Amino acid sequence: MNYFTITLTINRETMVFSVTEEDTLLDVIREKAGLTGTKQGCGCEQCGACTVLLNHKAVNSCCILALQADNGVIETIEGLESSEKLHPIQQAYIEEGAIQCGFCTPGMIMSTKALLDQVPNPDTSQIRSALSGNICRCTGYTKIEAAVKNAARKLEEVSHESI
């Protein structure tokens, strides 16, 4: 088996990994970087539990080979929290009751972040489209949509406070 060296910046920290050509980005995040917030769900790009941001775009990390992500900038659910404080998106999900078992939540939150980074005040259609690759079997999607709208308001407040 051949091993290759890759460099990833994960949650603002540059890391070097030895990987095989079969290792996925999810394998590296969970097993080599020790960041277990990103979940292994279906393994075939259908459920979104493994969603992370790769170069600021939401991707299913289970279907991206680690070698394809070499020199990439990765953001996981663990990268949202700062100074022991929840990110406004995380707080909005809690406030709206959009978290049940929590398995899909990291992927949902990362898809939400990718959306709100591009569209600060999305309408329902944009929210549904952005989250269409994420499956939740516990909450239904009404609370999740409400959480995204709440998060958009929170992020707008934060941006106004920093002006």
pLDDT tens readout for residues 2-11: 999 999 999 9
Q: Which of 17-21, 74-78, 155-159 has the lowest mean pLDDT?
A: 155-159
Q: Collect all residues with Cβ–Cβ distance below 8 Å to 12 and sequence separation of at least 6.
A: 79
Closest CA to 72 of 45, 50, 53: 53
Predicted pLDDT at 160: 77
Helices (H) then strands (E): counts for the chain:
5, 5
Q: Which two tokens stand for residue 14?
A: 């540059």
- Within 10 A of 57 (CB to CB), how many other CB atoms are there? 10
Residues in contact with 123: Cβ distance below 8 Å, sequence separation at least 6, in sequence order: none
- Sign of the alpha-carbon torsion through 6, 133, 122, 77: negative
- Mind listing the pLDDT tens digit for each residue in 26-50? 999 999 999 999 999 988 888 999 9
**pLDDT computed for residue 161 by the predictor:** 78
Q: What is the largest CA-CA distance in the chain?
A: 53
- pLDDT value at position 81? 82
Mode of pairing for the β-strands spanning 73-75 and 4-10: parallel
pLDDT of residue 163: 59
Grade residue 73 by pLDDT with cuts at 50, 70 and 90: very high
DSSP character at residue 57: E
The model's pLDDT over 89-114, given as tens digits with 9 standing for 90+, comes to: 999 999 999 998 889 999 999 999 99
Express each pLDDT in 130-161 by its tens digit: 999 999 988 779 999 999 999 999 999 988 77
Q: Which of 63, 71, 57 is nearest to 17 (CA)?
A: 71
What is the pTM (predicted TM-score) of this model? 0.94
